Chain A
Amino acid sequence: MADLKQQIIAQLNLKDLKPEDIGDDQPLFVEGLGLDSIDALELIVLLQQEYKIKLANAEEGQDVFRSVRTMAQYIREHQPKTV
């Protein structure tokens, strides 16, 4: 999850944050990290770029991007298997 936090920081240019500043279960949007809809688009790009995962249904986003833990779990479940 530390790697994922680092990727989120880089993708969203959260320069003042370190991976350890983001709690595993801390909400990413609104009252947590305070991310917004443009950040959600950036996170979709991150999933595709880094993990080759295409969010099939936009409505899934709300659950997937709830926290770093939910994102990591989604990645584990959907990452293409390497041979």
Chain B
Amino acid sequence: MFIQAAAGISPQPSFGALLTEPASYAGNRLSCIEPDYSQLIDPKMIRRMSRIIKMGVAAALDCLKTSATEMPGAIITGTAYGCLADTEVFLSKMIENGEELLTPTAFIQSTHNTVGAQIALLLKCHSYNNTFVHRGFSFESALLDAVTLLQEQHASTVLVGGIDELTDTSFALLSRFGLYKKDISSSKTLYDGAAKGTIAGEGAAFFLVAAKHSGKDYAQLNGLYTFYKPRDITDIEKNIQSFLSDHAIGMDDVDLVITGQNGNVHEDAIYEQLAQTTFKGKANAVFKHLCGEYPTATSFALWLAANIIKAGVVPSCTLVNSNNKHPRRILIYNHYQNTHHALYLLSAC
């Protein structure tokens, strides 16, 4: 499967050069840097869109524009939290108005599939449209569906994206669960020290994927694999080795490993152990200091990996270990709360 284009709206300047001037944040919450949507979306439609819908639709449209594709063969999205802001408006109005006088717009747009539906409405795309909501596997499920559609030749191109937003309410609730660090001065220091908690993030990343090589692809996605609640580190190592073996390669064939460290000492312990075994001596890049932690953060990692292969350069702000090698094959390994583990293998075309 080939990635013809990748576009994202994230806490980083996403539409310009690749992370040449990375944004850093004070505190434990990263918010997306949003573009001027009126340049991308019909103003008549913008008025009804909440922030996540605008982020998702704008990223999708930019992705299509980059690939010079007017109509994808299918639209698939993955989101864990869905359209939280509209859900909050709808639920608040229910309470305020005694379950009467509910605003239809917030209700209609509170469903998880709103972003995919809005993209389809804008494009007048009547093809396959699906949304996956599976916590830390939401984006992987969407991508797996895209792979299946392409392999079974139900579509020649698929627009697939991962989207999640953070609202004041969700941030407050997730903070109460102890997910985020309480005393972090800057996102740049996310990996310093050995404390519990991470930083909150959000983002929208879209990809136009195709079964056939177009000659201008960002990268080839050779494989995707997920595993749930591994027993121990040995189990994780076995899964990684088996994934590579399935693609007839070993770690020596991988130029760069992108891993999902999020600053939480308990969760990062897995990556640290792998750095001493399976990933020992490999060039390593990290990304969650740039986008924060959220269930579909792997969509940001895939956006980053595809751009690294396309540009042939690893942004210095992501590198932990470098071998100064032009990366032609990248392995992404991420886990979400040590329950949802995902592996991606990409290579240059």
Which residues of chain B come closer than 8 Å to A13, judged between CB atoms? Answer: 47-48
Closest to A48 in B: B101
In the assembled complex, B322 has its CB within 8 A of some CB on chain A? no
Q: Pick the contact of B103 from A15, A16, A34, A42 — CB < 8 Å? A: A42
A41 cross-chain contacts in B, Cβ below 8 A? 104
Task: Determine the distance from Cα of A64 to Cα of B42 in the docked complex, in whole angstroms.
Answer: 28
When the two chains form their complex, are residues A38 and B47 in contact, meaning their CB atoms are under 8 A apart? no
The 8 Å CB contact of A38, one of B43, B48, B102, is: B48
Is B247 part of the contact surface with A, judged by Cβ < 8 Å? Answer: no
At the interface, yes or no: B108 with Cβ under 8 Å from chain A? yes
Chain B min CB distance to A33 (Å): 10
> How far is B49's CA from A38's CA once the two chains are assembled, in angstroms?
13
Chain B, interface SS category? loop
Q: Give chain B residues whose Cβ lies under 8 Å from the Cβ of A42.
A: 103-105
Q: Mark B82-106, 1 if CB is under 8 A from A, else 0.
A: 0000000000000001001111110
Question: How far is B89's CA from A42's CA once the two chains are assembled, in angstroms?
Answer: 14
A14 at interface by CB-CB < 8 Å = yes
Contact between A45 and B102 (Cβ–Cβ < 8 Å)?
Answer: yes
Interface size for chain B: under 10, 10 to 19, 20 to 34, or 35 or more residues?
Answer: 10 to 19
> How far, in Å, is B96 (CB) from chain A's closest CB?
10
Which DSSP category, helix, strand, loop or mixed, fits chain A's interface? helix
A12 adjacent to chain B (CB < 8 Å): yes
Contact of A34 among B44, B48, B97, B108 (CB under 8 A): B44
Does residue A49 face the partner (Cβ distance < 8 Å to B)? yes
Residues of A within 8 A of B104 (CB): 38, 41-42, 45
Q: What is the bound-complex CA distance between A15 and B100, given in angstroms?
A: 26
A15 near B44 with CB under 8 A, answer no
- How many angstroms between the C-alpha atoms of A30 and B58 in the bound complex? 26
* Chain A residues near B97 (CB-CB < 8 A): 49
Q: How far is the CB of A48 from chain B (nearest CB, A)?
A: 5
- Chain B, Cβ-Cβ closest to A15: B47
Which positions 104-120 of chain B face chain A at CB distance < 8 Å?
104-105, 108
Q: Which of A14-67 contact B (CB under 8 A)?
A: 14-16, 34, 38, 41-42, 45, 48-49
State in angstroms the CA–CA spacing of A82 and B100 once bound together: 22
Q: What 1/0 mask marks residues of chain B from 149 to 177 whose CB sits below 8 Å from any chain A CB?
A: 00000000000000000000000000000
Complex contact A45–B43 (CB within 8 A): no
| Bound-state Cα–Cα, A42 to B107, Å | 11
Asked if B44 and A38 make an inter-chain contact with CB atoms under 8 angstroms apart, the answer reads: no
- C-alpha gap A45/B48 in the complex (Å): 16
- A residues near B102, Cβ cutoff 8 Å: 45
CB distance from A58 to the nearest CB of B (A): 14
Per CB-CB distance, the 6 closest pairs between chain A and chain B, nearest first, are A41-B104, A13-B47, A48-B101, A45-B101, A49-B101, A38-B104
Residues on B lying within 8 angstroms of A by beta carbon are 43-44, 47-48, 97, 100-105, 108
A contacts, CB < 8 Å to B: 12-16, 34, 38, 41-42, 45, 48-49
19 contacts between A and B (CB under 8 A): A12-B47, A14-B47, A15-B47, A38-B48, A38-B104, A38-B105, A38-B108, A41-B104, A42-B103, A42-B104, A42-B105, A45-B101, A45-B102, A45-B103, A45-B104, A48-B100, A48-B101, A49-B97, A49-B101
